[in-house]
Structure 1
Amino acid sequence: MTLYRANPKHGVAWITGGSSGIGRALAKDLAANGFVVAVTALDEHPIDSLIVETAQMPGRVVAYPCDVTDEPRMASTVAAIEKDLGPIVLAVFNAGNYIATPGEDLRVRDFRQSFEVNYFGIINGLVPLMERMRIRARGHIVLVGSVTAYFGWPTTAAYGGSKAAINILAESLKYDFDKMNVRVQVMNPGFIDTPLTEKNMLPMPGLMPVNRASRRMLRGIEHGGFEVTFPRRLSWGLKLLALLPRPVCRWFISTATRWTGRPLNFDRKPPSE
């Protein structure tokens, strides 16, 4: 059986984390391809300018503000989109954050916030949406991961851990989603030039402009398989690196990021509760 692939004639697209970065760029590309795109972002991150920019495109963008960590409101958002615009045939769970977690400055709240946004932000929308896609017996789900899911990097214990969990989530759900004619894909991009990567403490080889990354995601949605990863020179090199014995892999990453010579920083004060 050929798995369903989203078509704008069948319904609408929904993107979380669409106020900036790759989510915003992808919303524009989908609207240019004829999709009505429901964009979810925080209330304090309005997308009025995005709506104006896409007003003359074949499709359009509609705002559905929501905090992805709010489980009841995410369920209400799914219901509101389908009531107002029609069935969601494509969902891109893109909302995410990056909080650096250097080993000498670990904070429980940083781990919790990373997983609440990056992982449970997906679950809070995926569960109510799948109830509807299951009944319709078709749908297309895209989960945005990262190449940091392949193995551990310095400062990414929280971020990379959440992205690894997303990859396992997608792989585990695929067995049953296939039976329901719901395509699930995981996008594992490398370093994209967005406000999120500006907070990165690591060197970022192969940094890709956001518009180019969005086009790669769109191509993956239209033609790609289960995993879509880019830029290929970086991502496939990391895949090969992950096959090596872990001590070799850690040595390479430590050397490439110049982390071996980095001094520990104990200047930050403990967080006040």
Structure 2
Amino acid sequence: MPDPRDWWIVGASEGLGRALASRLDADRASLVLSARNAERLAGIAGGLRDALAVPMDVTDQASVMQAVEAAGPVEGFIYCVGQYEPMSARDWDTESAIAMTEANYIGALRVLGGVLPTMRARDSGRIVLVGSIAGYRGLPGAIGYGASKAALMHLAENLRFDLRGTGIRVQIVNPGFIDTRLTRKNAF
């Protein structure tokens, strides 16, 4: 089995994920970068020292399994996916809420299903799930997004307890508002 790459960043094509890729590259980490947009991802990876672009759609189980195989073993995994569409109770959109949950939470379950077994076999690894302060309290227009990020926070806490005493560290990161394409959709 090849040596594990340092970090796999899922959601690396823009915003915080892209910034993390640049920062970790500056620290000389070897990276696997994933997102849906293969062209943008290839451009980002091409500008870094040691980055492998592995396109993936976290809402598609077959795509996830292909990406897990292509990525190979990794020492660290960062799930930085953020799908957001403003949605209030007055303008309910079940399909939009489900799409946000699929990307922001269920996608993490899918990728962890491929990453965690190799970490457990090595008794070594780091899992970083990027949530949001929107997961703590309800916010205007954030019904699907806030609930999906709250679920991700709960998942991180469960993993942390279940993996205590192993060589696998689990962290949840809940950033505040960052000026990205997603936060520009807010009306507040």
After TM superposition, the score normalised by the length of structure 2 is: 0.93
Measured against aligned partners, the alpha-carbon deviations of 1:98-139 in whole angstroms (never above 9, x if no partner) come to: 111122110110110010000011111011111111111011
State the partner residue of 2:62: 72
Q: For the residues of structure 2 that align with 1:88 and 1:46, how far apart are their CA atoms? A: 22
State the identity as a percent: 37
Distance 1:51 1:150 in 2: 33
Preserved CA contact (<8 Å) 2:34 2:53: yes
1:118 partner amino acid: N
Hey, what's the Cα distance between the residues in 2 that align with 1:48 and 1:99? Answer: 26
Question: What are the ranges of 5 or more consecutive residues in structure 1 without an aligned counterpart?
Answer: 1-8, 203-273
Runs of 4+ in structure 1 deviating by more than 6 angstroms, as ranges, are none
Look up the match of 1:177.
163
Partner of 2:33: 39
TM-score (norm 1): 0.65
Which of the residues 139, 145, 159 maps onto 2:145?
Answer: 159
Identify if the C-alpha distance between structure 1 residues 45 and 97 changes in structure 2 by more than 3 Å, giving closer, same or farther: farther
CA 1:153–1:182: 2 relative to 1, 3 Å: same
- Equivalent position of 1:90 in the other structure: 76
1:17 maps to which residue? 11
Partner Cα separation in structure 2 for residue 194 and residue 70 of structure 1: 25
Aligned equivalent of 1:233: none
Alpha-carbon separation, structure 1, partners of 2:100 and 2:5: 31
Partners of 1:51 and 1:123 lie apart in 2 by 25
Q: Which has the larger radius of gyration?
A: 1
CA contact (8 A) 1:19 1:45 kept: no
* Alignment partners' CA distance in 2, 1:45 and 1:154: 34
Change (3 A) 1:127 1:11: same
Q: Deviations over 1:14-60 (max 9, x none)?
A: 011111111111001111111111110114552233234324xxxx2
Instruction: Give 5+ residue unaligned stretches, structure 2.
Output: none
Equivalent in 96, 113, 131 of residue 127 of structure 1: 113
Look up the match of 1:118.
104
From 172, 176, 183, the counterpart of 1:190 = 176
